[in-house]
Structure 1
Amino acid sequence: MKQASPPSPPLPVVDGVAPSYLWLPVETWPNLLAFLEQRFPAISSATWVKRMARGEVVDHTGARLAPDSPYRRGSCIFYYRELDAETPIPFEETILYQDERILVADKPHFLPVIPSGRFLHETLLVRLKKKTGLAQLTPIHRLDRETAGVVIFSHDIASRGAYQSLFQQRRVDKTYEALAPTRPGLALPLVYRSRMVDGTPFFRMQEEAGEANSETRIELIEERQDCSLYRLHPLTGKKHQLRVHLAALGIPIINDAFYPDVYPCKGDDWSAPLKLLAREIAFIDPLDGRQRHFSSQRQL
């Protein structure tokens, strides 16, 4: 049976990368290697054998596992994720603040927050672990890879839940900025509400009729020569909410490859980042009651 959370990892963080884990499903396999070959078809049998020989595949006690180790349903195994090649992302993150409990970073465009897919070392989490040596560093919330700006991390397990609850209970004030076309006649400020659901293709969201489940306050900061700078206050946290709402208003964010239309993937164009910035995060600290306020140093 799949469990909600793993035991404490028996493998150390190596070069900023923490071990991955997997609960073995209730299935029957002749041995562990046979299961891993089926579960991860992109990873060759020879690769798993080499990892096991190096002691990089273990059970929850830290005992090394071998190709012919019995498949024990319901147990938890740990291993290191690897990528053969990873494209360097030529933009640098900045640490805005750090104390004994949290770290606040200013993320550049294009950099994912956590390892996923084709990104491992080129992620904000792994880069910061390498810089700081904080093995327990964990993001409290996320930003899309395409979005730049403020991200808060916890590196103290004892207080992590208190900070996570701030976001879960929507007790955090988040302010974004976006560059988008100027729409004459659009009365601002305004509050835009809609019902957002999973869209097509799978990575998009879409709006449908029904009770609203997303809400954004939109303000005009300034009109520029060929576009305008907007201030956005998301009162809910739906995936791609700001991008969907501005596109629905006829002012899609500049360089958005998903909304209102999906553009063919041609790889990252470093010269054309999505013009969306997580400018500020503010909240009352759940442990000492202080007003916290963090602001990105980046400009659109």
Structure 2
Amino acid sequence: MAGAPLPVRDGLGPDRIRMPAGVEVRTVAEFLVQAHPDDKAHWLSLIDGGGVVDEHGRVVDRETRYAPTRFVYFYRDPPPEIRVPFDIEILHRDDRLVVIDKPHFLATIPRGAHITETAVVRLRRALDLPELTPAHRLDRMTAGILMFLIRRDDRRAYQELFVSQQVTKEYEAIAVHDPAIEFPRTVRSRIVKEHGVMTATEEPGEPNSETVIELIETRGVYARYRLRPRTGRTHQLRLHMSSLGLPIVGDNYYPDFRRSEPDDFSAPLQLLARAVEFTDPHSGEVRRFDSRRTLRW
């Protein structure tokens, strides 16, 4: 968490809670207990042990005055998680970058039920790099090239490459082959993703997403495709393939959402971030990183 008053600990940054306006309490302790009555003993113990601080890193005690609209920070012990049974392969490391070949099922950053079983937490712990931060993200179900930044001072320059679409991305996917569909082709649509909703949708209106799709090879009823996204909308590649009637093998979101068991790693989404290429903002050299992974037919 950028600007947090507590450092990363064991690969995880602190959590924070915003103190809203209009709450009738006198102290921070009263607010936390009122907001979490079932955890009263936990919060009081945490406060008494100096485990809660304000935005300036000052320790909160039982008499610290409530401050509407401000934040308090603390460490949360994450619940046990099912381990993703695949390893991260490190493809490149220098003074600024760590580039990995991410396996399927491993989220990029902590979110929801996936906290410790994420690429950034695993790497922070394994490499002893507490400030390591992703330059971009991959969906949990997508494997392939993922870049991380070692130094805080480098974040803006590299992350801006992705924001301003100065990075060429190349993906591969396995899906059904339909000889009636001509390739290469460009798919454009308006993708809308609502907060809290698992899936995104394509809706009428001005397109905000674009993907160039090429046919690489066929094997029976299946084919391997190259996908070059020119934008980075949530689930863009999965939606664009599904819109052609060619959902990616292993996709349990599109065209129809199907729940999967959290310990089922038997049917990974056959989508791979094959390569990224960009001009390094510091050296000026063109750099390219390629995945060594292969998809299952």
So what's the TM-score if we normalise by structure 1?
A: 0.90
For 1:71, the aligned partner's letter is Y
Paired residue secondary structure (1:250) = coil
Residue 264 of structure 1 is aligned with which of 255, 259, 267? 259
Which residue of structure 2 aligns with residue 220 of structure 1? 215
The residue number in structure 2 matching 1:145 is 140
Which SS does the other structure have where 1:179 is aligned? strand
Compared with structure 1, are the counterparts of its residues 269 and 173 closer, same or farther at alpha carbon in structure 2 (3 Å cutoff)? same
Cross-structure match for 1:89: 84
Matched, 1:277 2:272: yes
Q: How many residues are aligned here?
A: 294
> Over aligned residues, Cα RMSD in angstroms?
2.2
Alignment partner of 1:238 is 2:266: no
TM-score, scaled relative to structure 2 = 0.91
- Matched position secondary structure for 2:255: coil
For 2:147, what is the secondary structure of its paired residue? Answer: strand
| 1:113 matched residue in structure 2 | 108
C-alpha distance in 2, partners of 1:76/1:199? 26
Please give the alpha-carbon distance, in whole angstroms, between the structure 2 residues aligned to 1:198 and 1:127.
Answer: 28
Deviation at 1:46, TM superposition (A): 2.5
Match of 1:47 in 2: 42
Measured against aligned partners, the alpha-carbon deviations of 1:195-249 in whole angstroms (never above 9, x if no partner) come to: 1123698121111222211110001111123411111000111100000000000
- Partner of 1:44: helix, strand, or coil? helix
The runs of 5 or more residues in structure 2 that have no matched partner are: none
Query: Structure 2 vs 1, CA of residues 181 and 137 (structure 1 numbering), >3 Å: closer, same or farther?
Result: same
Identical positions, percent: 43
| Structure 1 gap segments, 5+ residues each | none
1:56: Cα distance to partner?
A: 2.3
Query: Which portions of structure 1, spanning 4 or more consecutive aligned residues, are displaced by more than 4 angstroms?
Result: 37-41
Shift of the alpha carbon at 1:88? 1.1
> What is aligned with 1:73?
68
**Are positions 1:191 and 2:186 aligned together?**
yes
Partner of 1:159: 154
Task: Say which SS state the counterpart of residue 61 (structure 2) adopts.
Answer: coil
Note if 1:176 corresponds to 2:171. Answer: yes
Question: What is the Cα deviation at residue 117 of structure 1?
Answer: 1.4
Give, as a single letter, the amino acid of the residue that structure 1 aligns with 2:288: H
Asked if the contact 2:171/2:273 (under 8 Å) is kept, the reply is yes
Q: Say if 1:33 and 1:45, in contact at 8 Å, map to a contact too.
A: no
Q: 1:17-36 counterparts in 2 under 5 A?
A: 17-30=12-25, 31-36=27-32
- Which residue matches 2:205? 210
Shift of 1:134: 1.2
SS in 1 for 2:121: helix
1:237-274 per-position Cα deviation (integer Å, ceiling 9, x unaligned): 11000000000000000111110001134334211011
Q: Distance in 1 between matches of 2:79 and 2:136?
A: 28
